[in-house]
């Protein structure tokens, strides 16, 4: 359960949980929740979003666990060739393009950038909640545009994966050529789709800057996407290792 | 999944925001409920056509003409898919769970309201895509709701296996995504949004059931999604995950090396937990109702909670019992069968506890209670055939016979539907502010209860005599042909039972407009939904956050002023 | 209302059980060596599960009537949250009942599926295809000839339908039949194959069922102990003609079997 070990350490910020059963969220008022009722405070929202992410990573993990088990079964299981009455295997190992190594480095770098962006936005959000009077100007978040760099590196990785597909095809390995190449396309493709989701979320966070949405909201999006991004990086390393080591 | 929405969103203004794209978990719950209502009548209509075809294969029906054997198979595929996904998964969890989980734990809404809305509309889209399969060239697929490859993987394998089968897979994939979003919300809400004092062990058993069901969904639907993706690739990209070297009608399929059993493993890894996804909410609800209407605390609350957990846990280790005859290793088969017999134990514990709850109670027979008692009866009869099928030795004979049909229809079909009916009669006053008509409710109960037995009891006999499922006609095989009178009896019983469902529909629609006004707590129950107004305000408790002091089933407490103590009342001291 | 529930639930239980006890619709008479053991296990399971079924339903009906709300004069409900000892007792009893029942059937399952056919068993290759069964005997050489999917042509029937490769010397003496003829009291080893989709070879009288899976050759065995014709039906959804995919197992005496095989050999 990689997701649990990755995300179980997300302790900070420590939020007082009240007594048993969790503290009741405090709301601005009664009535039927007309506009103007307050939101739960920042730590509560952050905690809830992180918990949501932790839960959301479980089915992603199950999806890839399931693909992995299909990989192992499909690789190991011989089928009957009626011509010879022999059990045969039709698994031809694929030589992975070296480009994937470069892509891996790009993705890991993006993960570092993501972590810096996450901390940066978090600091800004904490500062904003400490001084609730005015919205913190963007400049207070520091000068390095880590968020933009992460998005750029993420897109570069996706482009690199696309190039790797083209190289595979140039070497004669198409989706249906051999089961091993089917799995290469399947696993890289499924991972890319998930990473695109992360890129999209970061773009939304960037858009929040333009829309002048509260920094706390942006911080929650960036924080949760950050953990998701790290998960995607770890998942990629796992996929790469599976494809390379269990050929 | 990263966008986080504050849950104290404003009450919506326009019609579109208020009733269509609502973020309010209560409206979304009602949307799910009506989706399931449409789906259940659609699925029932398909079964009506099937029952007609089985007994009068040459009958010419208005609009449909004569039903062909391949049409019969399409009908059964769509009947199963609609019922399992869009009724049994949608109504108890998406419908009632959405509406009542936040209220019962004292939360103002689900944790992620936007996600909640998306999850409904995704499910709705899945339903439309599924129905579209009827209208494309070749019609709906004929591979059954289990979609065993290679039949489901080869467009040449039969009519309906073209575009219809693709739509079927896509619909299920869409449904998976919707169900996953729903599960995410249920789990986060239960863990993070309970009111002060609402410890896990003070949650009503309904909440426990929804919570564990959500966990099952979270683990199972991802696997089904993966299987669907692989199947789509086999069908459209020429890969061979599930299809070995072979021919259809002497023509090579172009695939080689795939494993048909791999599909079955992936499918049933989802498929068996799915059975519990359908039945657990009904179990939780009936535990609730038996306690409310017996005016007695639930017998063995903790045992009930542990039994739900045990069922959820073991539910993931028994999928192989669907595959005893599939060519799987006989040693695995035996291991799976031991686990399967093991899962019978928590189910039996629950039954004992239900009987224990009735024992020395003071039973009020209103419509929801009748359905809850009916549920117990049907659960017993459906459960007791389980140990037959769970033993490979007996499954050699019973596999794919009507005995299996009787078993799973009674336990995951009819018993769950009884749970849904009970929930509707019980919560209707809270949801719509009016009572349902009791006379119609009782008439509906008696006809449905006796009708369900009349339909499904004889299927056991049909199966014991070797009658096979998914046969559009029994005329070709002598021993099956000799059983035709049973089929005729079942069909007639089905017609009566289907007709009596319109009593329910009329009662439902009529009571929404004309029913007697409901009080805030008409059943004198203890859980939080009965502490708030009827129907509940936008944030559920009108700005007051409830504080919980008692367990959910404090009935007939000695010395208490009333025979029930609300969860929010002063703490009960009399403990046994 | 409680009384009506009692009467209805009890009536359903008794009527439902009557047809089981009376065996109005029941398994066909067993014609294989394994049938007696399997049927016995059926009976044991029926007695135990039937007992639980009847007890639970009778109790449900009884409680519904006995503990109904009788208005103002009625006893208040008992305030009790359960009984841990009782919980433990019925948990343990159920475990013993369920697991014990399963273990009791292990030897039958083992002899059916764990053990391979003994040497000297009569080998028959069973091939399922949409929507027919074909049966192949290896002939005097004891070897099945090669088959090629490219050569398959169902319209030719027999050897053509199986795609038998006539250039393979082992295929020369293969006998292919649309009816499964087997000798009585001999173990039959079936080799189950499929060309296209999954089918299932089901012979109720033999208490035998096994899916035929494309890409696999599944070896199974059974021993017929009665002569006569027994029907085969396909028990796994295989397409629009699923309900028509049936056949016959003809169990004959050993001399008759040899005679039949020799005659089919001579026809070639």
Residue B425 domain-assigned (yes or no): yes
| Both tokens assigned to A99 | 């480009």
| Mean pLDDT, residues A81-93 taken together | 84
Which pLDDT belongs to residue C25?
A: 94
Yes or no: say if B507 and B440 are a contact pair by the CB < 8 Å rule: yes
Distances (CA, A) of C266 to B361, C172, C261, C262: 80, 12, 9, 6
Task: Report yes or no on B124 lying in a domain.
Answer: yes
Q: Which of A80-89, A145-154, B462-471, C169-178 has the lowest mean pLDDT?
A: A80-89
pLDDT at A19: 35
Q: What is the pLDDT of residue B7?
A: 44
pLDDT of residue B572: 82
Most C-contacting residue of A82, A87, A88 (CB-CB within 10 A), to test interface: A82
Q: Which residue has the higher pLDDT, B10 or C70?
A: C70
Strand C122-129 and strand C188-194: pairing?
parallel
CA angle, B122 as apex, B121 and B126 as ends, to 5°? 115
In chain C the domains, ranked by start, together with CATH numbers, are 2-69+82-113 (no CATH), 118-267 (2.60.40.420)
How many contiguous H segments (helices) and E segments (strands) does chain C have? 6, 10
- Whether the per-residue pLDDT at A133 is higher than 90: the answer is no
* Cα–Cα nearest to C188, from C161, C164, C215, C206: C206
Chain C residues in contact with B252 (beta carbon < 8 A): 149-150
Answer yes or no: do B367 and B482 share one domain.
yes
Instruction: Check residues A135 and C191 and name the one with the higher pLDDT.
Output: C191
User: Residue A61's pLDDT is what?
Assistant: 97
Do A51 and B7 count as a contact with CB atoms less than 8 A apart?
Answer: no
Contacts with A43 from chain B: Cβ below 8 Å: none
Mean pLDDT, residues B465-471 = 96
For B235-283, write each residue's pLDDT tens digit.
999 999 999 999 999 899 999 899 999 999 999 999 999 999 999 999 9
Q: What is the distance between the alpha carbons of residues B525 and B164, in angstroms, rounded to a whole number?
A: 48
Q: Which domain holds residue B519?
A: 515-576
Is residue B12, in this structure, part of any structural domain at all? no
Which chains have 3+ CB pairs within 8 A of A? Answer: B, C
Residues B490, B522 within the same domain: no
Q: Is A18's pLDDT higher than 50?
A: no
Question: What is A41-245's CATH superfamily?
Answer: Cytochrome c oxidase, subunit III, four-helix bundle (1.20.120.80)
Distance from CA of C122 to the nearest CA of B (A): 21
Q: Does a structural domain hold residue B573?
A: yes
B276 and B362, same domain (yes or no): yes
In a domain, B5, yes or no: no
Q: For chain C, which residues lie within 8 Å of any Cβ of chain A, measuring from their own Cβ? A: 144, 146-149, 163, 165, 193, 215-217
Same domain, B470 and B554: no
Q: Give Cβ neighbours of residue A223 (< 8 Å, ≥ 6 apart).
A: A46, A49, A50, A118, A121, A122
What's the pLDDT tens digit per position in B347-395?
Answer: 999 999 999 999 999 999 999 999 999 999 999 999 999 999 999 999 9
What is the ipTM metric for this complex? 0.96
What proportion of chain C, given as a percentage, has pLDDT over 70? 100
- pLDDT tens digits for B167-183? 999 999 999 999 999 99
CATH number of the domain enclosing B35:
1.20.210.10
Cβ contact, residue pair C25, B464, below 8 Å: yes
Rounded CA-CA distance C54/C61 in Å is 11
pLDDT given for residue B1 in this prediction: 36
Residue with tokens 């189910």: B347
Q: Are strands C180-183 and C246-252 parallel, antiparallel or unpaired?
A: parallel
**Quick one: pLDDT at residue A35?**
32
pLDDT in tens, A45-54: 999 999 999 9
pLDDT at residue number A137: 53
Mutate to test the interface with C, among B143, B370, B468 (most CBs of C within 10 A): B468
Do residues B158 and B214 share a domain? Answer: yes
Please tell me the predicted confidence (pLDDT) of residue A13.
35
- Domain contains B127: yes
* Stretch among A14-23, A158-167, A225-234, B555-564 having the lowest mean pLDDT: A14-23
Q: Would you call B380 and C41 a contact, using CB atoms and an 8 Å cutoff?
A: no
Considering the domain architecture, whether residues B77 and B106 belong to the same structural domain is answered as yes
- Supply the pLDDT for residue A20: 35
pLDDT of amino acid A135 = 54
Q: Are residues B506 and B541 in the same domain?
A: no
User: What distance in Å separates the CA atoms of residue B471 and residue C38, rounded to the nearest whole number?
Assistant: 25
Mean pLDDT of chain B: 94
Pairwise CB contact (< 8 Å): B239 & A217 = no
Closest CA of chain A from B181, distance in Å? 8
Contact B300 C83 (CB under 8 A): yes
| pLDDT-based confidence at residue A39 (cuts at 50, 70, 90) | low
Distance from CA of C139 to the nearest CA of B (A): 25
What is residue A82's predicted lDDT score, i.e. its pLDDT?
78
Statement: residue B9 has pLDDT above 90? no
Domain count, chain B: 3
Could you tell me if B530 and B506 lie in one domain?
Answer: no
Name the percent of chain B lying above pLDDT 90. 91
Interface test with C, best of B141, B267, B314, B327 (most C CBs within 10 A): B327
Per CB-CB distance under 8 Å, the chain B contacts of C246 are: 476-477
Asked if B220 and B310 sit in the same domain, the reply is no
pLDDT of residue C116: 92
Task: State the chains in contact with C (3 or more Cβ–Cβ pairs under 8 Å).
Answer: A, B
- Does residue B483 belong to any structural domain of this protein? yes
Instruction: Please tell me the distance in Å from C227's CA to the nearest CA on chain A.
Output: 32
Contact with chain C for residue A82, Cβ under 8 A? yes
B123 to chain C nearest CA, in Å?
28
- Report if residue B6 sits inside a domain: no
Chains that touch B (3 or more CB pairs under 8 A): A, C
User: Above 80 in pLDDT, residue C74?
Assistant: no
C262 Ramachandran zone, left/alpha/beta (phi>0; psi -120 to 50): alpha
Give the number of beta-carbon pairs within 8 Å between A and C. 21
Same domain, B196 and B141: yes
Judgement on whether residues B474 and B419 belong to the same structural domain of the protein? yes
pLDDT digits (tens, 9 = 90+) for B231-242: 999 999 999 999
């Amino acid at each position: 359960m990689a997701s649990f070990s990755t995300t179980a350490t997300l302790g900070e910020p420590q939020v007082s949980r009240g007594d048993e059963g969790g503290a009741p969220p405090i709301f601005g008022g009664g009535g039927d929740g007309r506009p103007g009722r307050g939101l739960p405070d920042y730590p509560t929202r952050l905690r809830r979003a992180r918990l949501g992410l932790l839960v959301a990573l479980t089915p992603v993990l199950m999806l890839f666990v399931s693909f992995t088990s299909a990989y192992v079964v499909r690789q190991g299981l011989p089928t009957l060739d009626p011509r010879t009455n022999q059990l045969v295997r039709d698994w031809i190992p694929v030589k992975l393009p070296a480009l994937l190594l470069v892509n891996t480095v790009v993705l890991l770098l993006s993960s570092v950038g993501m972590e810096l962006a996450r901390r940066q936005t978090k600091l800004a959000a904490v500062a904003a909640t400490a001084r609730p009077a005015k919205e913190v100007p963007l400049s207070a978040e520091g000068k390095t545009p880590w968020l933009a760099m992460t998005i750029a590196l993420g897109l570069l990785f996706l482009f690199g994966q696309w190039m790797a597909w083209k190289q595979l095809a140039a070497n004669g390995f198409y989706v249906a050529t051999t089961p091993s190449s089917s799995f290469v396309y399947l696993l890289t493709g499924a991972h890319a789709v998930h990473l695109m989701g992360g890129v999209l979320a970061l773009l939304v966070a960037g858009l929040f800057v333009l829309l002048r949405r509260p920094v706390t909201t942006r911080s929650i999006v960036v924080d949760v996407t950050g953990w998701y991004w790290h998960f995607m990086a770890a998942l990629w390393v796992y996929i790469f290792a599976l494809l390379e080591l269990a050929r | 999944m990263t966008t986080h929405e504050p849950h104290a969103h404003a009450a919506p203004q326009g019609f579109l925001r208020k009733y269509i794209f609502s973020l309010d978990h209560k409206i979304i719950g009602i949307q799910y409920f009506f989706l399931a209502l449409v789906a259940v009548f659609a699925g029932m209509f398909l079964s009506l056509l099937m029952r007609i075809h089985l007994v009068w294969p040459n009958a010419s029906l208005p609009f449909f003409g004569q039903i062909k054997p391949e049409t019969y198979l399409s009908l059964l595929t769509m009947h199963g898919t609609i019922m399992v996904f869009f009724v049994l998964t949608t109504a108890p969890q998406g419908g009632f769970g959405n509406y009542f989980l936040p209220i019962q734990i004292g939360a103002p809404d689900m944790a992620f309201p936007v996600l909640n809305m998306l999850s409904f509309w995704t499910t709705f889209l899945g339903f439309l895509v599924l129905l579209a399969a009827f209208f494309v060239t070749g019609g709906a697929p004929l591979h059954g709701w289990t979609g065993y490859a290679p039949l489901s993987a080869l467009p040449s394998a039969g009519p309906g296996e073209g575009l219809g089968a693709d739509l079927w897979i896509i619909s299920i994939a869409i449904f998976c995504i919707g169900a996953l979003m729903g599960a995410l919300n249920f789990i986060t809400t239960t863990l993070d949004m309970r009111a002060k004092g609402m410890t896990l062990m003070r949650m009503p058993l309904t909440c426990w059931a929804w919570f564990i069901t959500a966990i099952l969904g979270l683990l199972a639907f991802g696997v089904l999604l993966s299987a669907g993706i692989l199947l789509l690739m086999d069908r459209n990209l020429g890969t061979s995950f599930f299809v070995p070297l072979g021919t259809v009608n002497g023509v090579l399929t172009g695939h080689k090396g795939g494993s048909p059993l791999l599909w079955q493993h992936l499918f049933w890894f989802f498929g068996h937990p799915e059975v519990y996804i359908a039945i657990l909410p009904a179990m939780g609800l009936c535990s609730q109702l038996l306690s409310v209407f017996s005016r007695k605390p639930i017998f063995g609350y903790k045992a009930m909670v542990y039994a739900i957990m045990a069922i959820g846990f073991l539910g993931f280790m028994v999928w192989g019992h669907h595959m005893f005859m599939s060519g799987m290793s006989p040693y695995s088969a035996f291991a799976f069968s031991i686990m399967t017999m093991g899962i019978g134990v928590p189910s039996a514990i629950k039954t004992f506890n239900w009987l224990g709850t009735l024992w020395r109670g003071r039973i009020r027979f209103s419509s929801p209670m009748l359905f809850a008692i009916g549920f117990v009866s049907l659960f017993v009869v459906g459960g007791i055939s389980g140990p037959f099928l769970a033993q490979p030795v007996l499954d050699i004979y019973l596999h794919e016979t009507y005995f299996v049909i009787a078993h799973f229809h009674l336990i995951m079909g009819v018993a769950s539907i009884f749970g849904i009916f009970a929930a509707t009669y019980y919560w209707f006053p809270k949801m719509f502010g009016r009572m349902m008509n009791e006379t119609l409710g009782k008439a509906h109960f008696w006809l449905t209860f006796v009708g369900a037995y009349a339909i499904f009891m004889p299927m056991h006999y049909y199966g014991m005599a070797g009658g096979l499922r998914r046969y559009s006609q029994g005329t070709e095989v002598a021993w099956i042909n000799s059983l035709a009178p049973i089929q005729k009896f079942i069909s007639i019983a089905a017609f009566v039972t289907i007709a009596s469902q319109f009593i329910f529909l009329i009662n439902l629609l009529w009571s929404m407009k004309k029913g007697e006004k409901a009080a805030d707590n008409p059943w004198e129950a203890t859980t939080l939904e009965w502490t708030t107004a009827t129907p509940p305000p936008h944030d559920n408790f009108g700005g007051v956050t409830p504080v919980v002091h008692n367990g959910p089933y404090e009935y007939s407490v000695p010395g208490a002023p009333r025979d029930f103590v609300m969860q929010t009342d002063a703490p009960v001291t009399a403990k046994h | 209302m409680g009384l009506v529930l009692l009467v209805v639930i009890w009536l359903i239980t008794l009527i439902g059980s009557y047809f089981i006890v009376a065996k109005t619709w029941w398994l066909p008479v067993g014609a294989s060596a394994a049938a007696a053991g399997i049927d016995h296990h059926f009976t044991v399971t029926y007695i135990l599960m039937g007992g639980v079924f009847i007890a639970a339903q009778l109790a449900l009906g009884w409680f519904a009537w006995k503990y109904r709300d009788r208005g103002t004069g009625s006893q208040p409900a008992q305030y009790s949250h359960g009984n841990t000892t009782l919980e433990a007792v019925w948990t343990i009893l159920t475990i013993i009942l369920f697991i014990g029942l399963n273990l009791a059937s292990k030897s039958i399952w083992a002899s059916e599926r764990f053990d391979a056919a003994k040497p000297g068993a009569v080998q028959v290759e069973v091939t399922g295809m949409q929507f027919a069964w074909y049966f192949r005997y290896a002939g005097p050489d004891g070897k099945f000839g090669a088959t090629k999917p490219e050569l398959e042509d169902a319209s030719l029937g027999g050897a053509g339908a199986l795609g038998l490769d006539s250039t393979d010397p082992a295929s020369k003496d293969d006998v292919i039949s649309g009816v499964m003829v087997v000798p009585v009291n001999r173990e039959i080893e079936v080799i189950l194959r499929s060309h296209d989709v999954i089918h299932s070879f089901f012979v109720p009288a033999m208490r035998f069922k096994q899916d035929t899976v494309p890409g696999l050759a599944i070896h199974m065995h059974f021993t017929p102990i009665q002569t006569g014709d027994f029907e085969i039906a396909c028990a796994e959804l295989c397409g629009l003609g699923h309900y028509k995919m049936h056949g016959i197992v003809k169990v004959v005496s050993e001399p008759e079997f040899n005679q039949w095989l020799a005659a089919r050999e001579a026809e070639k």
